[in-house]
Structures are given as C-alpha cells and as structure tokens.
Structure 1
Amino acid sequence: MFFSDLKKMLKENIRDYGMFIALFAIIIGFSILTDGVFISPRNISNLINSVGYIAVLAVGMTLIIVIRHIDLSVGYLAGFAGAIVAILLTRYNMSIFVAIPIVLVLGIVVGLFNGFLVGKVGVPAFVVSLAGMMIFRGALLQVTNQTGTIIIKNQTFNNIGNGFIPDFPFINIEGIHVVTLVIGILGICLYIISEFRNRNKKLNYNFEVPSMPIFTLKLVLVSAMIGYITWILARYNGLSWTVVIVLIVTALYNYLTNKTVLGRHIYAVGGNPEAAALSGINVKNITYFVFASMSMLSALSGILYTSRLQSATTTAGMGFELDAIAAAYVGGVSAAGGVGKVTGSIIGALVMASLSNGMNLMGVGISYQYIIRGAILILAVVFDVVTRNRNS
C-alpha cells in the first residue's frame, strides 16, 4: 500500500518533485566523483552565494513565461543597473539607502514601459526585449566608457554580496554559526506547520491528499534536506546576506503566486488570456505588473552581482537572461504558459549552478559544459511537452 501510494504521488506530482530528485542525484553524484570536495562547507557556501543573482532573475522570469511572454533584456538591464548604482556610490557619494531604491525604481519604470509596449501597443515581447537587450548593452558601455571597470569601496554595499549575517555575540561555539542553525530550525518548523495547514484545508474541502505515511515521508525528507544544508552553511560562515535576500524574494513571490488574487489572475492569464479577459481580468494590468516586477528584480540582480564583484564591469549581465530562462524551464515552468512555481525555478537555478560547479571541480572543459547544460535544457522542455500531452 505504501509503495503504491508513493508511486501514485510521484506520477501525479512529477513536475513538483522531479527537480528535487534531480538536485539530490547531482549532489550525490558530484560528491562521489570529487571525493567529497563538492559537498564541502566552503564549496556549498560559495555555490549558493554565486547563484543568488541568477535565482532572483529566475523568480521574475517564472512569471514572465507563465503569462506566455519572454524578456531577453534582463541580463544587460542588470549590468546597467549595477553600473548606475556604482556611479551613484562612487561619483556622487550617495548612501546605499538612497542609491539602491533609486536603481530599483529605475527598474520598475523600465518594466512598465516594456509592459506598455507589449500589453497596450501589442508589440511582441521578443521584439521589445531584444531591443531592450541592445539598448542596455549600449547604455552599459556608455556609462562605463570613461573609466571602464568602476571599483566600489563602499564596504557596506560590498557586504551585500560578500558578507554574512552576524552570529549571537553571547554564544560562542567554535566552528559553528549558531544564528544560521536557529534560522534553519525555524525554517523547518514553519515548513511543517505550513504543510499541515495546507493538508487540513484540503481535507476540509474534501480534496484528495496523500496518505499519512507518504505525507510524513515528504516532511522528513524535505526537513532533512533543509537541516543538512543549514548545518553545512553553519560550519563555514553561516548564511550570507545574498542568501537572505534570495529567501525573502522567494518567500514574497511564493506568497504572491499562491495566496493572493493577483497570483491567481497571473496564472489565469497564462492558462488562457482570452478566457481570463472574458471573466473580467484586466490582462493589460497583469502584463504591466509582471514586466515591472521582472525589471525590478533585474535591477536587484545587478545590485547583487555588482556587490559580489565589488565593481561594475563593461561585460556585466552577459548571458544572465539565458541562465534565468534555463533555470525557469528546468525548474518546471511550462513553455505553453500557465504552469510553473517560483520555488521550482530556484531549484532549477541550483541544478544548473551545481552542474557547472561540479564539472569545474572535475576539470571538464567549458565547451563540454555548454553542451551538457544545453542538453539538460532540451530534456526539461521535452519533459514538459510529454507530460502536458499525457495529461491532456
């Protein structure tokens, strides 16, 4: 009975659990192939921190693809936003509490303009974003024309991409970051409480739920994974500010997409724009919001990347959009729109970053890395098409 229920649950929820299984397999595989170097605290910490700016982009790209559009401008917009915040901090000596909001608002304005062209004027999103890609590439070169790389000496700003949250001053356990452990334990507790609430809510509406043994197994496995990653990070320097920002963004957008009317409208537009319009949903406003959200997250991604490098470079943002799109598709977003989860795209970003990191540790050539990552992307889209056809 247990195994039949498990098989049924995996079959019905393969989109949700497939990437977790893939990530787990990648971690085990590279841990064996690299003699444990891949799973070392230092490498895992660097891996998670390095994927932050792509993870933020993947969150926004999820909503873009869900409503059946694409945004190719996000990479160079991130690079341009990073250059602008660098100029504000170095040339005009602005506080980060002024410079960062200015750049985020700039991203929102750009997104609203893109959304207007797509939603109101009717220009295809591919054309709008391709034009934006070229415009921001040129703008980035223009603002860095005089100095080239802009070095940022503001330590507070640089800590966003390189710093770690402080530990308790009154608790000192050698080699262990206690605050990270506490946050991990709280995260596990919140996850378990949330799962029980969702289960009880479904039972109240007579919806089908997994059997209690399967439900318990899921709680144990996910909690163990959260706990293990938390333990690894706590043995190095703890949670970085980049990870904290990614977790906040993920939590906010996960709540938005799952618990709000706006979130339901976004998925309704992605599922069938014509039917959504006939049901009273303002498709144009949804388009404005999603594109504005995407560009704001692009600006945030540029801030994270610039902070991590401690400088703004002329090549910043190159290829970011492709990594974000790949993370979204690998994370389970449907190419046909209307399907996809923010959390799935975060896992997708981790999968792609883990592949690159593991292959680098093994000394795999960059040419083979691109081939393998491209093959993974094709497999993810083929999987989406096959499962969608099977369900229909």
Structure 2
Amino acid sequence: MNKDQVLGFLKKNTMIIVLIIVVAFFSWRTGGAILLPMNVSNLISQNAYVFVLATGMLLCILTGGNIDLSVGSVVCFVGAVGATLMVNMNIPIPLAILIMIALGTAIGAFQGFWIAFVRIPPFIVTLAGMLVFRGLSNVVLNGLTVSIKDKTTFVNLFGGGADCYIHDIFGNGTLNLTCLFGGLVATAVFIVLQVSSRIQRSKKNYDVEHFGAFVGKLVVISAVIVLFAYKLAQHKGIPTVLIWVLIVVLVYGYITNNTTVGRYFYAVGGNEKATKLSGINTNRVYFLAYTNMGFLAALAGMITIARLTSAQPTYGQNYEMDAIGSCFIGGASAYGGIGTVPGVIVGAVLMGVINLGMSLMGVDANMQKVVKGVVLLAAVIFDVVSKRGGKMIVKN
C-alpha cells in the first residue's frame, strides 16, 4: 500500500478506528467492566431506540442536511397513546400496535406535507411538532404514568421483559449456543457479501481498496462480530430488541445501497436542482423521508415503552439529539448527499459506548453532556475540513 492508499483507508474507516480506541480506553479505565456480557447486552437494549431513529434521521439528512426535531416527542406521544389503549381501554395488543404504527406514520406524513409541498423549512415544522406532540403526550396521560407490566406479550415482543431473549434451541448450558451460531452465520454472510461486492466492482472496472486493507478489514470486523456474539451468549443470548434493530438496519441498508429510491435521497442532497431537472420528483423524496421518519419513530416508541414497561410524559427527551449526533458522528455530511446506514450504526454504538463507559466510571451527568457535545462538534469539523482538502478556512 502506498501513502495515498493508507490515507484513503484511514479516512474511510476513521470512525471504526475511533470506536476501537474508545472501547479500549474505557476497558482500561473500568478494569474491563464495559466488556462484561451483561454490559454488552445492556448497550444494545439501552440504545436500540437510537439505532432505529438514527437510521430514519439519515434519510432526512441525506436530502440536504435537514433534520427532524420532533422525533423524541413523537416517540413519547405514540407510546402514550399505545399504553393508554392497551391498559386503560383494553384494546387487543395487535390492534394497538397497528394504531401506533399508523399514528406515527400519519404524523410523519403530516409534517412531510408542509416540508415537501408547501416548502416550509424542516427546522420550523419539526420544532413545532416537538412542542405540539410533547404537549399532547401530557394531555393523553394527564401528566401521570401508565404502567404496562401486565402486558407481557407486548413487553417481551419489543424487548422489555425479563424473558425478552431468544431461547437456546441447542441446549440450556451457561453458553447460549444459538446466539453463538447466529454470530458465526452473520460473520459468514458478511464475508460472502463483501467478497461478492468486490468481485462485481472489479468486473465493472470500479476502484477497489487495496487487497491487504480489504483482508484486514474483513478479519477485524469478523472478529468483532464473533466476539460480540460470544459476549451475548455468555449472558442470556440474543435480545429480542436486537432482532428489530437488525431488521431496520438490513432493510434500510439495502434500500439506500441497492434501490432507485435510495439513490434519489443522495441525488437530492447532492444537487436538488439538477435532480429535479433530470425528472425526479424531489417533493416526493422529501415527503417520503419525513413520512418514514414518523414510521420509525412509532417503532422506537414501542421499543421505549416496552423497555421501561410504562409510558410517561417525559419519555423521549433528547432522543432527536442522540439520533442526529449518531448520524454526523457516523459520517453523514452536514450538507446532505453523503452517509451510510453502517456508518450511522457505528456512530450510534460510539455514542452508546461513551455513555456506558462514563456511567461505569461515575462521571457526572453534566460532564457526560459536555463530552458528547465535543465529540459531535469534532465529527462535524472533521467532515467540513476533509471536504476542503484538510484546510481550515476562516471567513471574515
């Protein structure tokens, strides 16, 4: 590998390298506590909503650096309505789930209409939504907490109960063999997909990374997947909520990489005028992005109330900031048109590791916010400066 190839590899995988360094640092500072099986499992359960919301937020950001400030309030409102339906009104769980999904999607479509067709700035529309749906959450719940502990089917389905893990079909030992087998299968699928993609790119005479760097990346990521599966297998196995996260990540990863609709998001963010002149309905792209955001906010709302086994008017606070931060830290451009679902997941995991690591170290909650803010600012500065060829330009 020559110097340019090394620099290109480091730039492309900066956040992965940072994540490894951060995990190593907190492992040292906590005496390895952050890598305990229980903490690895908690990392997934506590940050599942971030993975879901950040995936949806990426589509909004791709359209030109736009964001959705209302998602935290929508999560709370959908959860409040769902808990009220199931507990206070005894609505069947399947029907309540459908109503929550429909409600979240309708909210996203409502906001998407004003953004896409009336062209009101997304910041204004979603800021209004943040206030409106936070207030409606209080109205629905009357400022009280609604417990859903007796609705075990719903709680376990969305990963909030004590039994919300995939049972070991191979045995009942201390090591969950089903989880370990799943990790090995995931590793094999990852390697096959990466090798297949490289072969296809080579046949089309596209640029491919150096073979040594490619093999090194496969080895490192495969080792991480196997280690992750092994840690989960030592606890209780695969959390149910991880299945939901994987479905979201795989579906949206495929959409953004392999579909025409996915390429539209990148095109609009890259140059909206040129995209419109090429015959693409850019209004529909905006509308789809925000409607989809409402749909995923509904899913995150169900995950949230299942994990906390209740609905409260305060749920969802700062969720939008976690999602936005994960996108930018994961490599999404503040100007739109650049970003990937795997990158966003790396950003979300990095934020989760920082939160968990600082909590285990006993760092003050206010200082945790300071660190997260600095990390977010650093990620955006890196994005802006790298696009200028490494030059910091200060305008008068």
Deviation at 1:11, TM superposition (A): 2.5
2: CA distance between counterparts of 1:246 and 1:16?
24
- Residue in 2 aligned with 1:182? 181
Separation in 2 of the partners of 1:13 and 1:107?
40
Q: Is the 1:16–1:332 Cα contact (8 Å) retained in structure 2? A: no
In 1: Cα distance, 2:120 partner to 2:385 partner: 31
Give the alignment's TM-score, normalised by structure 1. Answer: 0.95
1:211 Cα deviation from its structure 2 partner: 3.1
Aligned residue number for residue 280 of structure 2: 281
Rounded to whole Å, the distance in 2 between the matches of 1:343 and 1:211 is 21
> Structure 1 residue 81 and structure 2 residue 82: aligned?
no
| Counterpart-to-counterpart distance in 2, 1:361 and 1:61 | 29
CA displacement 1:87-134 (0-9 Å, x = unmatched) = 111122223222112111111111111111011101000000000000
- Cα distance in 2 between the residues matched to 1:14 and 1:94: 53
TM-score, normalised relative to structure 2: 0.94
Aligned equivalents of 1:99 and 1:211: distance in 2?
Answer: 51
1:14-46 CA-to-partner distances (Å, cap 9, x unmatched) read 454111111111111111111111110011111
Q: Secondary structure at the match of 2:14?
A: helix
- How far apart are residue 10 of structure 1 and its match? 4.8
Query: Structure 2: any 5+ residue segments left out of the alignment?
Result: 392-396
Q: Distance in 2 between matches of 1:192 and 1:206?
A: 21
- With over 3 angstroms needed to count, the CA separation of the structure-2 counterparts of 1:145 and 1:16, relative to structure 1, is farther
Task: Give the CA deviation at 1:173.
Answer: 5.3
Following the alignment from structure 1 to structure 2, what is the Cα–Cα distance between the partners of residues 331 and 100? 31
Alpha-carbon displacement from aligned partner over 1:176-221 (angstroms, at most 9, x marks no partner)? 1111111111111111110111101111111121233222111111
Look up the match of 1:237.
236
- After the TM superposition, which residues 96-111 of structure 1 pair with which residues of structure 2 at under 5 Å, given as runs? 96-111=93-108
1:383 maps onto 2:379 in alignment: no
Q: CA deviation at 1:250?
A: 0.4
Name the counterpart of 2:117: 120
**Cα gap change, 1:123 to 1:184, in 2 (>3 Å):** same
Percent of residue pairs bearing the same amino acid type: 38
Contact 1:184–1:226, Cα closer than 8 Å, also in 2? yes
Is the Cα contact below 8 Å between 2:84 and 2:141 reproduced in 1? no
Confirm or deny: 8 A CA contact 1:67 1:338 kept in the other structure: yes
- Provide the residue aligned with 2:394 in structure 1: none
* Residues 1-392 of structure 1: pairs in structure 2 closer than 5 A: 1=1, 4=2, 8-14=4-10, 16-68=12-64, 69-145=66-142, 148-152=144-148, 153-159=150-156, 160-162=158-160, 163-168=164-169, 171-172=170-171, 174-390=173-389
Q: Distance in 2 between matches of 1:190 and 1:133?
A: 40
Does the 8 A contact of 1:161 with 1:305 survive in 2?
no
Q: Please say which of residues 226-235 and 204-213 is displaced more in the overlay.
A: 204-213
Which ranges of structure 1 fall in alignment gaps of 5 or more residues? none
Whole-angstrom distance in 1 between the partners of 2:119 and 2:84: 35
Q: Distance in 2 between matches of 1:38 and 1:283?
A: 45
> What is the DSSP-based 3-state SS (H/G/I as helix, E as strand, rest coil) of the residue aligned with 2:117?
helix
Give the Å deviation of 1:9. Answer: 4.1
Taking the aligned partners of 1:294 and 1:136, their CA distance within structure 2 comes to: 15
Alpha carbons of 1:65 and 1:368: their partners in 2 closer, same or farther (altered >3 Å)? same
User: Is this contact kept in 1: 2:60–2:68, CA < 8 A?
Assistant: yes
Q: Which moved more, 1:296-305 or 1:93-102?
A: 93-102
**Cα offset, 1:86, TM superposition:** 0.6
State the aligned residue count.
385
Relative distance call for 1:236 and 1:195 in structure 2 (3 A) is same
Whichever residue aligns with residue 86 of structure 1, its letter is A
